[in-house]
Structure 1
Amino acid sequence: MVISVSTTKITWELLPEDFVLDDEPVDNVNQPSLAAALTESLELAGKLPETALTTTNYGICATLNGKFVIKAPDWAYVPQITVPREQVQRSYTPHKQGQIPSVVMEFLSDTEGNEYSSKRTYPPGKWFFYEQVLQVPNYIIFQPETGELEVHQLENGNYKLRSDNENQRYWLADMGLFIGVWQGKRENRQGYWLRWWDEDGNLLLWGSELVQQERLAKEAALKRLEELEKRLRDAGISD
């Protein structure tokens, strides 16, 4: 498949086996935890189809004017891959291996503003790559330290900053879920997190929260049983 953006020729090719990928550490110690939390709650809620793919600092590729371009968003969601999962190694190429991501996220960790770069010349900026090359429907920028969240939606070929609802959440039609900011503790980190809510406003829980919920339910059931036994004894019915 070939797509032209102005004078840029875009093709979709798999990276050669000998292509050297950047091997840089993540910018912030919290980024892997933020990304893992997003994927975990989707999976536990049954919102992660078997053919879907979530990525964390994983290269998403396109070829611009014959040159490979790889961007590794902090988190991305691909609704469907069309090849066996074991063939998606080292990088992911839309149109070759499946659909374009419906959501990409960047977690701000510096003040350089790379997430807003619309630079078209090689290597292109992230904003240009997500908006004009990949044409990702939803580009989310999150500042974990302050809890600031921006949701940019693709409209007529360009990103438009969306407004949140009365609950400070954003509906992502491609996901069938709301996303918003939640403040609390996970993995010994107290701070701001991105969370999912379903269309009825129910929070998609993490594994630790499900365990706690089950524990509280068992304790409540045991307490009800003890109270019933006490009433029966007081009434002279119990042995």
Structure 2
Amino acid sequence: MVLQYDPKQQCLPSSAELPDSDDTPVDNELQNLIPNLLEAILAMAWPDRQDWFFGVDMGIYYAPSTPAVVPDGFLSLGVERFIGEEGRLSYVMWEEDNIAPTLALEVVSKTYGGEYERKKDIYADLGIPYYAVYLPNPSSSTRARRQRQPLEVYELVDGTYQLLEGGPIWLPEIGLGLGRERGTYLGREREWLYWYDQDGNRLLTPEERVDQTQAQVDQEQARADRLAEKLRELGVDPDSL
């Protein structure tokens, strides 16, 4: 059963009254870098959309008397992208019209965090359609974790998460696929998570967009230089045209 609370019927705390963190530091920088990259790619892919929000290491409050659950990243659709100048302190579901995230993401760290059991059950109870668990360093993980796939994406079916096969995994509610491949982000080369279009093409990162634009500018300049040189060979001053 999906948990929902009606703020008109109960005196519920606001986001300003709730802790904005569980005060648990991440024990691996990838837990922030990976969701930050996904958010940055979305911002480039959806520049005109204002109906989505991507939270990174932000608490989701789903019951007034229950501590927040804190995914490494989550995507909500059908909500305001920006709220005020300071933005959201946390994601309080009774302030978001009881709209649960569409996707929750956990990046597995060295410290056991219940990503494959406890949190999975919580996200299912919240009615989150998709849950992704990424194991960034399988070789340094425990034996039990090494038996897992590096990226597992689950779909909620009749209240239970079912593992989806293949990759990238197409997520129709989002209109994008989620997958993994090697690349470079902030000068760091390794495997990252990326968004993909319906044809399986990876969406570019902001850095790649800049490089692509610069390459196009350089090509246009080279073409103009070649044309100017040919005009000079014909005795025509290109600056006089």
**Under TM normalisation by the shorter chain, which class is it?**
0.7 to 0.9
Match for 1:68 among 66, 69, 72? 66
Q: Deviations over 1:121-171 (max 9, x none)?
A: xxxx2111001x20110000011224811110111211111011xxx3110
Deviates more, 1:84-93 or 1:151-160: 84-93
Kept after mapping to 2: 8 A contact 1:42/1:48: no
Question: Take 1:224 and 1:67, find their aligned partners in 2: how far apart are those partners?
Answer: 66
Q: Deviations over 1:51-106 (max 9, x none)?
A: 3111111111222xx73131110010110226982497432232541311000000
| Aligned match of 2:23 | 23
Per the normalisation by structure 1, the TM-score is 0.80
Q: Aligned residues: percent identity? A: 28
Task: Could you tell me which runs of 5 or more consecutive residues in structure 2 were left unpaired when the two chains were aligned.
Answer: 139-148
Residue 198 in 1 paired to residue 200 in 2? no
1:228-239 maps to which residues of 2 (within 5 A)? 228-234=227-233, 236-239=234-237
Question: Take 2:30 and 2:81, find their aligned partners in 1: how far apart are those partners?
Answer: 31
Match for 1:155 among 124, 139, 157? 157
Q: Deviations over 1:29-65 (max 9, x none)?
A: 12222111111111111267313111111111222xx
Question: Take 2:13 and 2:170, find their aligned partners in 1: how far apart are those partners?
Answer: 34
Q: Structure 1 residues 82, 113: closer, same or farther in 2, change over 3 A?
A: closer
Structure having the higher strand fraction is: 1
| Aligned match of 1:122 | none
Q: Structure 1 residues 174, 27: closer, same or farther in 2, change over 3 A?
A: farther
Kept after mapping to 2: 8 A contact 1:83/1:97: no
Task: Could you tell me which runs of 5 or more consecutive residues in structure 1 were left unpaired when the two chains were aligned.
Answer: 5-9, 118-124
| Aligned match of 1:183 | 182
Q: The residue matched to 1:22 in structure 2 has which SS?
A: coil
Residue 140 in 1 paired to residue 132 in 2? yes
Q: The residue matched to 2:209 in structure 1 has which SS?
A: helix
Q: Structure 1 residues 19, 85: closer, same or farther in 2, change over 3 A?
A: closer
Question: Take 1:47 and 1:149, find their aligned partners in 2: how far apart are those partners?
Answer: 27
Q: Structure 1 residues 18, 111: closer, same or farther in 2, change over 3 A?
A: closer
Q: Structure 1 residues 173, 92: closer, same or farther in 2, change over 3 A?
A: same
Cα RMSD between the aligned structures?
A: 2.6
Match for 2:121 among 87, 104, 128? 128
Kept after mapping to 2: 8 A contact 1:105/1:141: yes
Kept after mapping to 2: 8 A contact 1:145/1:192: no
The amino acid across from 1:79 in the alignment is L
Q: Structure with the greater relative contact order (CA < 8 A, sep ≥ 6): 1 or 2? A: 2
Kept after mapping to 1: 8 A contact 2:58/2:71: yes
Question: Take 2:190 and 2:216, find their aligned partners in 1: how far apart are those partners?
Answer: 27
Q: What is the aligned length?
A: 218
Question: Take 1:187 and 1:46, find their aligned partners in 2: how far apart are those partners?
Answer: 21
Q: Structure 1 residues 83, 227: closer, same or farther in 2, change over 3 A?
A: closer
| Aligned match of 1:57 | 57
